[in-house]
Amino acid sequence: MANIAPFGVCRSMANPTVSAATSAAMGVLTPMPCIPATASPWTPGAAKTHIAGQPALHGQCTCLCNWGGVIKIDQPGTRKTMIA
């Protein structure tokens, strides 16, 4: 949740919330909000650039979700944010 914000919907029956909602809907697949659950690192990462000892991420990096999905970087690069 700190580094990958919730996004879209999950349709994986391996996800307990999707499974429960689908059961409640008598077997009709019921997608639920995607709350990323990751245990694996991002791969492949930058070969030469590191941030806090970890390879920096670029547009070809992916991370596997515990429920069977693949998370990809949609908009690589940096953006300035303003704190109000």
- Residue 43 domain-assigned? yes
Residue 75 has pLDDT above 90, yes or no: no
Number of domains forming the structure of the chain: 1
Residue 1 has pLDDT above 60, yes or no: no
- Residue 1 domain-assigned? no
d(CA 18, CA 20): 6
- Residue 82 domain-assigned? no
61: number of Cβ within 10 Å: 18
- Residue 83 domain-assigned? no
- Residue 3 domain-assigned? no
- Residue 77 domain-assigned? no
Q: Tell me the sheet residues that pair with 12.
A: none
Residue 28: predicted pLDDT? 95
pTM greater than 0.85 (yes/no): no
The domain containing residue 57 runs over which residues?
9-72
